[in-house]
Structure 1
């Protein structure tokens, strides 16, 4: 069994806040994104997942790699690790929750305790680099 969950995430910052989502029946916020499908590149996954979650179009040519982060996967058995490869990218459209997303919100570093473990690591990095207030 694969003990690493391979995910791609979109980091969208505005005025020191980060766009986050909460799925139905979940108690934590997540940076938008999701699992790679077989044969997909990072950008394929990014474009598909963000369209599925937020009904917006990522502009692939503008995607910039931010970093890859690992932590215990939220809500999974001990030892299951999530690896999150993060990108920023320009987009068309307004983030709108779809069927799998209950809430779209802007979070600050003060909200760090409300996000998944891997997102906490990303929040720390963005805060240390002055991007997340």
Structure 2
């Protein structure tokens, strides 16, 4: 490999939200928190990888048809110095009670509206949270009133 070419990881990730909090995970042997997700397996679509990784890492059961693409992002890899991660990031409306599973050592809900902890992965801090901030605010169904 050319010493000037960064190793690139193609991944898919899922954003789970509760209000302004987003679910972040820390993989075993690492120090940065990131979205649940991971590398695509051969022949796997980004949606399929996101569903598989969410199940393996936090025990989430997702319907692929309900995932919405937030964006396609590129950032320095959190845990591989000099590497780059390119990720399709999906929004999930599924409410979950996460469990630590697979290669995950810890999880936490991180307030995306407040100051971010220093141990947040670059993809999340530099790409995903700004994309979430740019989304239009849609009123919750309970806020919609029928006219008589």
TM-score when normalising by structure 1: 0.86
Contact 1:56 1:93 in 2 (8 A): yes
In structure 2, the residue corresponding to 1:111 is in which secondary structure? Answer: coil
Residue in 2 aligned with 1:101?
104
1:1-80 → structure 2 map (5 Å cutoff): 1=1, 3-78=7-82, 80=83
Unaligned runs of at least 5 residues, structure 1: none
In structure 1, the residue corresponding to 2:22 is in which secondary structure? Answer: strand
Residue in 1 aligned with 2:131?
125
Larger radius of gyration: 2
Residue in 1 aligned with 2:141?
none
Aligned residues: 130
Unaligned runs of at least 5 residues, structure 2: 138-148
In structure 2, the residue corresponding to 1:37 is in which secondary structure? Answer: coil
Q: Going by fraction, where is helix more abundant, 1 or 2?
A: 1
TM-score when normalising by structure 2: 0.78
Deviation (angstroms), 1:76: 2.0
CA 1:15 to 1:90, structure 2 compared with 1: closer, same or farther past 3 Å? closer
CA 1:16 to 1:98, structure 2 compared with 1: closer, same or farther past 3 Å? same
1:100-130 superposed Cα distances (whole Å, 9 cap, x missing partner): 1111210013225221111112123323547
